[in-house]
Amino acid sequence: MTDSSLWGVDNTKRRSIVGDFAEVADAFARTWGATPSTIDLLHLAAVIEPTAIAVEGYNGGVAFDALHARASLLAGVLERQGLDRDAAVGAALAPTIRPGTPPAEVAAGTRAAADRARASAVEIAGTVDFGSLPGIFRASARLFGNRIALTDTSGVELTYAQLDERSDDLAAGLIALGAGPERLVGVALPRGVELIVALLAVVKTGAAYLPLDQSHPKQRLAAIIADADPVLILTDHATIAAWADEPAAKLDTAKMDTVEGVVAAGDPTARALIPAEVHGAHPAYVMYTSGSTGKPKGVSVTHAAVVSLLSAMAREYDFSADDVWTMFQSYAFDVSVGEIWVALAFGGRLVVLDYLTTRTPERFVDVLADQSVTVVNLTPSAFYQLAGAVRSPDGPPMPPSVRTMIFVGEALDFDQVRRWFGDRRRRGETSPQLNNMYGPTEATVYLTRRELSEGFVGQTLASDAGLALPGSRMYVLDPQLRHRPDGVPGDLYLAGDQLARGYRGVGQTVTRFVSDPFGEPGDRMYRTGDVALLRNGCLEFLGRADDQVKLRGYRIELGDVEAALASAPGVSAAAAAIKSPADSPDRLIGYVVGVPGDAALDPLDVRRWAATRVPDYMVPDFVVVLDRLPLNVNGKLDRSALPDAVATATAQAVAPRSDVEETLAAIFADVLGLDEISVVESVFDVGGNSLLAARIVARACDELGVDLNLRDLFEAPTARLLAERAGHVGAGIEPISVVVPRPHRIPLSFAQQRMWFINQFDPDDAAYNLPVVVRLTGDVDVAALRSAVADVVARHEILRTTFPADDGVPHQVVGAAEDAGAQLDWAIVDSAAELFAQVRRGFDVGAQWPVRARLTGVDGDAWLLAVVLHHIGADGLSLRPLVADVVAAYAARAAGKAPQFAPLPVQFADFAMWQHRVLGSPADDDSVAGQQLSFWRQRLAGLPEVLDLPADRPRPLLASHRGAAVEFDVAAEVGDRVARVASAHGVTPFMVVHAALAVLLSRLSATRDIVVASPVAGRGQAVLEPLVGMFVNTLVLRTAVDPSASFAELLSVVRGVDLDAFAHADVPFEAVVESVDPVRSQAFSPLAQVMLSFDPAGSVEDVAVPVAGVTFAHEPAPVAASQWDLSFVLTTSEAAAWSGSLIYATDLFDEKTARTTVDRFVRLIDALTSQPTAAVGAAQWLTPSELAHAGSTGPVVAVPAVTLADLIGGVGRGD
């Protein structure tokens, strides 16, 4: 195109414009940046106005085309020699200097000529500012003034010249009202051309625009306004009136003004203050994203970052002024930056879509066709809906004008892309160029690109997002910030020119924008919170670290569930979500949308299909059919808007035939959320799972007064079958209640009796100490903290109880609640070392309360609080209610009030008396204790005295109970495999780990009779949940390990062992020890010497609570003691590797041995779950160094070629 009128320039000055839009776009984009090179500016001028005079020489003027041609040739030579390209401009201008000029003057003359040529090129470009959005737009307005810049769905149009003029009018008014650099202007306008005018006007002032999309909840907008504090908010009369009518939303209307009102505030003086140049370090916009705390956080993005993005997009794509773009996204979603500003920078036409069009795929297709749109930016969720609209043979075609589609904002499902290409083939249509891009708001919209061809997606399984854009970098790192190997998942970090300035708030910025150890000094990188891997430099996005959910103990990727649902016949789009019905455990719900025109989808058929694609724990409990998936204002899938599933029974209705069946059917329906259920329908066919099953069993035991267990429901999963089983079981155990009046002597619980007995031997022994250490950061009120701890001691009787003995028989003596403050063992110590020394000091429980507290100051405004408990008064599950109560009490005391705790339903003394009453005497064979002890005597008969593990030194006669710990991880993929193996074999992940540990111990000890101890909570009744006390019980799990058996066979054995043990878990470990009467020794623990704790509940490790200006956070305590030879603790993770620790007795083992042991344990878990059908004795467990040593041949020794007979004969002859 050569008609100069198309360029919107003054034809009296620009009569010789040649070239086409693509050439101009390429030349223009090369100038974008803070300081464009002179040679690039000459190139732009040569493309726009090639015959214009760049500079006058002694023999006449030099046109831009000639000057650029000469300079570009020289620049190539200089660049190959590593010299500055701009030096070529001076060299090219040397002939313009009059011959005979002294050499010193030639250099000055060429420099001056180069400066004049640069100034002329800048004048032609129409801007002096190439490093900001308003500066680049000024050049666009100069180049494309008469072309249409904006169109909206109401039919309004603006040319570039009109847009420039109107935005200048508004910018003048904004400046008059206080807008300028480092300030914010809120924009709350409907989608239309006026919105773009407002955004452009704001950046022209040097201020940053603050998008306030009115489709967002008003409470969220109020929070954003309060945090951002804009100088004013551009809006319309209707919005001002609507916000004024909602005082509950706390929206500040005083700062609001209309566009007309702001324009009226402008005058020539203010207009003259519109800056010709905006520094690239100033923010262009601040967009608020959802924070992990639920509070939106503002991301401040600079002009320099946006211009870097524009430059990178220019190098990746062939955009030009011929392109027509849609503004599909909300202007509060950063992808809109890639629509609005890229379109305007390239001189294209931007079609601003109304909200309804973006949510109606058929209407969107019509707009694409009517407006001849060429470039579309969509989230994957919006793409799937568009794909569905142009899939049906009877539906509209994909408009052929669309040549480029960009997907960003979510992980792209390549199955959907493959389906797209198949649809285009079936309909005889050509697909636009598809591009998968990745980038968070904090890295300015897009940071990677992968062009998607049909061949590429046909052979690629992962969601490949391609290489980093020019000027940007990606790292996939482990928690220690080390590079992950190619193909190994890790935490994704981003770096480079497109990083945002940070968040509004230093605290958030410093935790997410961190120093880049791989860049230049001062470089930063952004911790995305995404999980990804790099393969040959390309990014494979795996999802948000917090998108991985945990359900019923299993780690689930919702994307995997959605992919399985989407692959079902007749399904056009799919989603999945975890829903939490009232008074019910979480459920996994699938959502599907059918193909328009196809037969209606059957949810059960879709669910059955998914069951063939994913493990059973990932099969949705329910599938819901929707007309379309809900999208949020940013065009992403809105999981929160997905409806709750309504559970319905599926079996033919069969009425109860007895009162018991009627009771059970009512319980089933209530727990499952059904109106009713047939008595012949399995709970597991209508959304039941193990957690719901546990609730059903507990309710059934409570209401029927019978003793059922979880195994009963798994084996009899209908109301009719369970009713029949309930008729053949014994009566249930009575509930715990307050004992009034209490006896003069309150007995110890069974577990406490053993603790008391051990304590009598050595009160200074810290083996049974339970420490919890909390770091307090902020303005700590020490007096309030001491009072808070005393309040908690007053609340829990067991913490103010001593255990004296009369005639050798101990009993409980509960101190008065009002004495808690005076008698509390509290001290402020001088150092953390002194504090931790108190952790290792024992208790005399006969005379002391089983609690002490120590406080010390550390790190400026931080304090460490250690609360040390003796096991006779608490267990591990007690630590969470203890800390929660301390935090609540501190909040009250810091406010000058006494805490208002909810009354505890019972105290530990009530439990101890209930235990003696209900379990009965171990000597009574007919009591609960007697019956369960009979089981344990049979199960543990002939047990080896001790598990003889290879140690670094002989076992001492008296164990010191000193311990140390080593940490280890189980890779996330191995943890997932454990869950899959468990599901496939009808066991739990704990049973898989227990079986693997049994194999390890069998190999280490060279024996097949393996005993492992494992804790159970012992809090079977809800009244015990908020109590501090020693309720935990220890089960003894005895397993026969046959090395020739497969792991699957061993799992079957372990399942029986564990279920039998759980069914006899009421009788305390101490009573089992007394009844079995093993060999007693002070050198080792009785019955079992190895402990396995899996997913220990009640942990305080994740506690991080801000209260009264103080943050309470868990601080790891040193390992005080080891009650076992080895104690394995494994904690599963929702989105990462499992964490583990091995606490080992330092009497026996060195750290190196402990580390080798955990290495072998992890290797066995991996090997056994990889091949469950292989013999357990064949599983690889050696470390790499051991394998290398085993494979070495050693020294070569020459052997004579003789027979054994020859050798024997030689001995006889004396040879």
Contacts of 81 (CB under 8 A, 6+ apart): none
The H or E element spanning position 1139 is: strand 1138-1145
Cα(797)–Cα(255) distance, integer angstroms: 57
Q: What is the pLDDT of residue 7?
A: 28
Q: Note down the domain range covering 60.
A: 37-127
At 1143, is the secondary structure helix, strand, or coil? strand
Gap between the Cα atoms of 951 and 960, Å rounded:
16
Q: Average pLDDT of 1175-1191?
A: 73
Q: Give the mean pLDDT of 514-543.
A: 88
Burial 465-492 (b: 16+ CB within 10 A, else e): bbbbbeebbbbbbeeebeebeeeebbbb
Residue 172 predicted with pLDDT over 80: yes
Give the Cα separation of 571 and 587 in Å (integer). 22
pLDDT confidence band for 103 (50 / 70 / 90)? confident
- Are 810 and 857 part of one and the same domain? yes
Q: CB of 791 within 8 A of CB of 820?
A: yes
- Residue 939, judged by CB atoms within 10 A of its CB (0-12, 13-18, 19+), counts as middle
The tens digit of pLDDT for each residue in 43-77 reads 888 888 888 888 888 888 888 888 888 887 777 66
Task: Using pLDDT thresholds of 50, 70 and 90, give the confidence band for residue 141.
Answer: very high
Which pLDDT belongs to residue 83?
A: 66
Residue 583 is predicted with a pLDDT of: 46
User: Is there a single domain that holds both residue 1032 and residue 970?
Assistant: yes
More confident residue, 1122 or 628: 628
pLDDT higher than threshold 50 for residue 365: yes
Mean pLDDT confidence for 186-213: 96
Which of the two residues, 884 and 877, has the higher pLDDT score? Answer: 884
Same domain as 834, residue 979: no
Least confident of 291-300, 422-431, 502-511, 792-801: 291-300
Average pLDDT score over the chain = 84
Give the closest residue to 1114 by CA, choosing from 768, 798, 882, 870: 882
- Predicted local distance difference test score (pLDDT) of residue 1162: 93
Instruction: Please tell me whether residues 685 and 824 are part of one structural domain.
Output: no
In the chain, % of residues over pLDDT 90: 37
- Residue 1200 is predicted with a pLDDT of 63
DSSP 431: P
1116 plus 1148 within the same structural domain: yes
**Residue that finishes a domain, picked among 641, 667, 699:** 641
- According to DSSP, the β-strands at 404-407 and 375-378 are parallel
Q: Are 373 and 348 in contact (CB under 8 A)?
A: no
The answer to the question of residue 306 being in a domain is no
**702-734 pLDDT, tens digit each:** 678 777 776 677 678 788 888 888 876 656 567
What pLDDT does 705 receive? 75
pLDDT in tens, 1020-1033: 666 787 899 988 88
Does 1190 score more than 60 pLDDT?
A: no
CATH of the domain at 888: 3.30.559.10
1049 & 1165 share domain? yes
How are beta strands 1009-1016 and 1033-1040 bridged, if at all?
Answer: antiparallel
Contact 486, 536 (CB under 8 A): yes
By the 8 A CB rule, do 604 and 619 touch?
no
- The CATH number covering residue 574 comes to 3.30.300.30
8 A C-beta contact, residue 354 and residue 191: yes
Asked if pLDDT for residue 404 goes beyond 90, the answer is yes
1005 with 1147, same domain: the answer is yes
Q: Is the separation of the CB atoms in 319 and 342 below 8 Å?
A: yes
Identify whether the C-beta of residue 150 lies closer than 8 Å to the C-beta of residue 170: no
Answer yes or no: is 240 within a domain: no
Q: Which of 655, 624, 806, 779 is nearest to 719 (CA)?
A: 655
How far is residue 532's CA from residue 539's CA, in Å, rounded to a whole number? 7
Among the listed residues 1054, 1014, 1009, 1016, the one whose alpha carbon sits nearest the alpha carbon of residue 1032: 1016
Region 468-475: mean pLDDT is 94
d(C-alpha 492, C-alpha 914), whole Å:
54
Q: How many CB atoms lie within 10 A of CB 299?
A: 25
Helix axes 361-370, 380-389, angle to 10 degrees: 80
| 75 in a structural domain | yes
Query: Is residue 802, in this structure, part of any structural domain at all?
Result: yes
Query: Residues 732-774: pLDDT tens digits?
Result: 567 788 998 899 899 998 888 878 988 887 888 887 888 888 8
Domain closes at, from 726, 741, 766:
726
User: Which of 243-257, 548-562, 973-987 has the highest average model confidence (pLDDT)?
Assistant: 973-987
Task: Assess whether pLDDT exceeds 90 at residue 833.
Answer: no
Task: Mark whether 709 and 784 lie in a shared domain.
Answer: no
User: Cα–Cα distance between 140 and 51 in angstroms, integer?
Assistant: 21
Q: Report pLDDT for 1.
A: 30
The yes-or-no verdict on residue 338 having pLDDT over 90 is yes
Tokens of 714: 């798994």
The domain spanning residue 704 has which CATH number? 1.10.1200.10
Contact 1029, 875 (CB under 8 A): yes
CB-side neighbour CA atoms (13 Å) of 59: 7
Same domain membership, residue 1019 and residue 989: yes
CB contact set of 679 (below 8 Å; sequence gap of 6+): 654, 655, 656, 657, 661, 664, 665, 718, 719, 720, 723
pLDDT digit string (tens) for 263-290?
A: 999 999 999 999 999 999 999 999 987 6
With respect to residue 671, please indicate whether it lies within any of the assigned structural domains.
yes
CATH number at residue 1031: 3.30.559.30
Q: Mean pLDDT over residues 169-192, rounded?
A: 95
Of 730, 718, 638, 657, nearest to 685 by C-alpha is 718
Residue of higher predicted confidence among 14 and 930 = 930
User: Residue 161 has what pLDDT?
Assistant: 95
Yes or no: say if 642 and 591 are a contact pair by the CB < 8 Å rule. Answer: yes
Least confident of 206-210, 622-626, 1203-1207: 1203-1207
Tokens of 781: 């009120």
Q: Which long-range contacts (CB under 8 A, 24 or more apart) does 1016-1020 make?
A: 1016/1062, 1016/1065, 1017/877, 1017/1097, 1017/1098, 1018/875, 1018/1065, 1019/877
What sign does the CA torsion over 1056, 1057, 1058, 1061 have?
positive
- Answer whether residue 1148 shows pLDDT above 80: yes
Q: How far apart are CA 153 and CA 192, in angstroms?
A: 8
φ, ψ dihedrals at 73, nearest 5°: -65, -45
Element (H, E) at 514: strand 513-515
130/79: higher pLDDT:
130
Smallest CA-to-CA distance from 34 within 280, 205, 206 is with 280
How confident is the model over 326-354, as a mean pLDDT? 94
Judgement on whether residues 804 and 865 belong to the same structural domain of the protein: yes
The count of domains in the chain is 5
Q: Is there a domain that residue 583 lies in?
A: yes
Tell whether 1031 and 1077 lie within a shared domain. yes
Nearest-angstrom CA–CA distance, 1012 and 1094:
12
* 1181 exposure class (CB count in 10 Å sphere: 0-12, 13-18, 19+): buried
Q: Identify the sign of the CA torsion 100, 105, 109, 111.
A: positive
18 confidence band (pLDDT: 50, 70, 90): very low
Q: Is the CB of residue 819 less than 8 Å from the CB of residue 744?
A: no
H and E: helices and strands count for the chain: 40, 44
710, 577: one domain: no
In a domain, 756, yes or no: yes
CA distances for 303 relative to 68, 134, 206, 406, 796, angstroms: 29, 9, 10, 23, 59
Percentage of the chain modeled with pLDDT above 70: 87
Asked, for residue 248, whether it belongs to a domain, the answer is no
Q: 377 or 597, which is more confident?
A: 377
> Can you say whether the dihedral through the CA atoms of 210, 215, 216, 222 is positive or negative?
positive
The Cα 669–Cα 714 span in angstroms is 17
Last residue of a domain, one of 78, 111, 127: 127
Residue bearing the bigger pLDDT, 360 or 20: 360
DSSP string, 623-639: EEEESS--B-TTSSB-G
DSSP per-residue letters across 471-502: TEEEEEE-TTSPBPPTT--EEEEEEETT---E
Which pLDDT band holds residue 984 (cuts at 50, 70, 90)?
confident
Residue reference for tokens 């940490």: 967
pLDDT, position 169: 95
Spatial CA neighbour of 863 closest among 788, 789, 778: 778
pLDDT at position 1052: 87
| Long-range pairs, 597-602, Cβ under 8 A, ≥24 | 597/392, 597/393, 597/394, 597/395, 598/570, 599/570, 600/625, 601/568, 601/570, 601/571, 601/625
